[in-house]
Amino acid sequence: MKDTVFTAKHIALGAKMAPFAGFNMPIQYTSINEEHATVREGVGVFDVSHMGEIWVSGPNSLKFLQFVSSNDISVLVPGKAQYTCFPNGKGGIVDDFIVYCFIPGEKYLLAVNAANIEKDWNHLCKYAPDFGLAVGKDLVNASDDTCQLAIQGPKAMEVMQKLCKEDVLGMEYYTFKQIEVAGIKDAIISTTGYTGSGGCEVYVPNSEGDKLWKAVFEAGKPFGIKPIGLGARDTLRLEMGFCLYGNDIDDTTSPIEAGLGWITKFTDTKGDFLDRAFLEKQKAEGVTRKLVAFELVDRGIARHEMNICDGAGKKIGHVTSGTMGPSVKKAIGMGYVDVPFNKIGSEIFIDVRGKLLKAVVVKAPFYKK
């Protein structure tokens, strides 16, 4: 099991630690509900150094990325980021990730999920030679050398502005800058948060991790800044209806089934890409199941892999994520259901230990500012 550069700090702060994606990670420090509220109302800091970072560069980098991803990366300009996914060539998803554009057509950074770093790397290495990309030169896995803090919440950017000479308060959603942060040159600060409450992520070399941690928490003292565990990260993202790889999407789910048609582009500029014909057919003809958001009507909580049934008790799908939303004060979840039970307002039932609990399909996000 791997440690991040911040693991010793989490332990010293009394965090409850647990294995996650091969890393020893903090799940909570005080309570999930308290930490969740800190991010919704103020500012909290997540160690997300377990995430992967892969650089793609060279004159054929855009053609390569257009082929292996679902979204149209050609629209990106320097300083813009984009959410997309890797189709697996069999109708499923290798991973969902964020691509950062540094030099259009020449230089990009991919932020991938921790559990999928090796899988993603192998997937990219498989196709890189077809586009003349040299592994280790044009395609570089910097995951083991990079640490990342996610500073999240409505007060987050006020905290970070204290550490930056350049304006960061005015940064729009899904943009980034490579600037000096807390005296660390060429840090990457991006506004691609996973909580729905604003904020940023900061990427720096592992050697600068301690300096970044100390600076962020010192600057955040007047704002009541606190470290936050992965437990609250999960409740925060679920209230926003954000997918979690391994739960809501995986190698068996297509982007169209998962409601990710908006990151699956069939434009002429996009050109051919893995699974284009299959996904284009799904979009045109429809699918037999869809990922939906739902709220429990009856008392109880839906959990991952519980069956979803119709009124007669027949299985029509399964739960992918579920929790009691601390901000919305409701039992919420997501799951795949057979069409036409995916329509907003549809009545469905969650099988909780043999008892069918009534739920209703709703439109995400559950949490609205």
Residue 319 pLDDT > 90: yes
Give ranges for CATH 2.40.30.110 in the chain: 288-362
C-alpha 221/C-alpha 49 separation (Å) is 22
In contact, 52 and 120? CB cutoff 8 Å: yes
Residue 59 DSSP label: T
Q: Give the model confidence (pLDDT) of 54-66 as tens digits.
A: 999 999 999 999 9
- Predicted TM-score (pTM) of the model is 0.96
Q: By the 8 A CB rule, do 57 and 107 touch?
A: yes
- At CA 316, angle to CA 310 and CA 318, rounded to 5? 115
Q: Per-residue pLDDT tens for 45-94?
A: 999 999 999 999 999 999 999 999 999 999 999 999 999 999 999 999 99
Q: Provide the terminal-to-terminal Cα distance of the chain, rounded to the nearest Å.
A: 38
Of 57, 105, 65, nearest to 84 by C-alpha is: 65
Give the separation between CA 305 and CA 267, rounded to whole angstroms. Answer: 36
Is residue 334's pLDDT more than 90? yes
Q: Give the pLDDT score at 369.
A: 80
Section 130-138 average pLDDT:
98
In the chain, which residues fall in CATH 3.30.1360.120? 1-284
| Coil vs helix vs strand at 328 | coil
Q: What is the DSSP string of 257-311?
A: TTT-GGG----TTT---TTHHHHHHHHHH--SEEEEEEEESSSS---TT-EEE-T
Report the candidate in 96, 83, 7 with the shortest Cα–Cα distance to residue 48. Answer: 7
CATH number for the 288-362 domain, one of 3.40.50.720, 2.40.37.10, 2.60.120.260, 2.40.30.110?
A: 2.40.30.110
Estimate the crossing angle of helix 61-68 against helix 117-127, to 10 degrees.
120
Write the pLDDT tens digit of every residue in 184-240.
999 999 999 999 999 999 999 999 999 999 999 999 999 999 999 999 999 999 999
Report yes or no: 223 and 208 within 8 Å, Cβ to Cβ.
Answer: no
The torsion angles phi and psi of 201, rounded to 5 degrees, stand at -120, 145
Q: Mean of the pLDDT values across residues 246-256? A: 98
* Sequence-ordered list of residues with C-beta below 8 angstroms from that of 301, at least 6 positions apart, any chain: 322, 323, 324, 331, 352
CA neighbor of 259 nearest in space, from 285, 281, 291: 291
Say whether pLDDT at 27 is over 90.
yes
How many helices (H) and strands (E) the chain has is answered by 8, 19
Residue whose tokens read 């991952």: 304
1-284 maps to CATH 3.30.1360.120: yes
Q: Tell me the pLDDT band of 111, cut-offs 50, 70 and 90.
A: very high
The confidence score (pLDDT) of residue 25 equals 98
**pLDDT, mean over the chain:** 98
Q: Token digits for 349?
A: 């039932």
- Residue 239's pLDDT is what? 98
Phi-psi region of 246 (alpha: psi -120 to 50; beta: other; left: phi over 0): left
CA dist., res. 187 & res. 160, Å (int): 12
